[in-house]
Amino acid sequence: MKNEYGKVGGWKAWYDGKRPSEEETALLRGTNQIRVRTEKIEPLKTDSTFAVGIKLNNDTLENLSSSLAEAKGKKIPVKLSGTTSNAVLEFEIAGQHFALPTTEVLVERRLAEFPDKNILKICEHYYRTIATIVDECGKKFDA
């Protein structure tokens, strides 16, 4: 903006009068830390979690319960395939294969800079924050 509007009358005073809120300051600080980290230190890495809802009939529940009891303390690799509205959770326990249709899927990705927020929500918030300022500037200074 400074490069494009810096010599336009009134722009500098308008821009200098823009003070981000505490929330916006934290957002801008965090996104800048991410930029520095990805440019100078390491590739972007996110922590991912997912939760799925499944509906089990009595037979499947019994089989799953006994298989889980047999596998107590062991890691069980799972595969989630499909889309969030039509997914299947697959895994094998004690030689028995399970393919369970899901009722819901929630996937979240987080970054160290924003440990309590889904990174997609951070990106949306960042975009809205910047777009608001750019739109205001364009309306005020584009003739």
Residues 36 and 18 in one domain: yes
pLDDT of residue 30: 94
Residues 75 and 87 in one domain: yes
Residues 34 and 53 in one domain: no
- Closest-CA residue to 96 (of 133, 134, 69, 57): 69
- Coarse DSSP helix, strand, coil percentages of the chain, rounded to the nearest 5 percent: 45, 25, 25
Handedness of CA 37, 39, 40, 44 (dihedral sign): positive
Region 7-31: mean pLDDT is 93
Residue 52: domain span: 47-108
Residues 8 and 53 in one domain: no
Residues 55 and 70 in one domain: yes
Share of the chain above pLDDT 90, in %: 67
Query: How many structural domains does the chain have?
Result: 2
13-24 pLDDT, tens digit per residue, is 999 999 999 999
* Rounded distance between C-alpha atoms, residue 134 and residue 62, angstroms: 58
DSSP class of 6: T
Average pLDDT, the chain: 91
105-141 pLDDT, tens digit per residue, is 988 999 989 988 999 999 999 999 999 999 999 999 9
Residues 22 and 65 in one domain: no
Residue 143's pLDDT band, with cuts at 50, 70 and 90, is low
Residues 37 and 63 in one domain: no
Residues 22 and 61 in one domain: no
Residues 86 and 54 in one domain: yes
Residues 35 and 61 in one domain: no
Residues 28 and 81 in one domain: no
Residues 22 and 51 in one domain: no
pTM strictly above 0.85: no
Q: At what angle do helices 119-141 and 22-36 cross, to 10 degrees?
A: 110
50-107 pLDDT, tens digit per residue, is 899 998 999 989 989 988 888 888 899 999 999 888 899 999 998 889 999 999 998 8
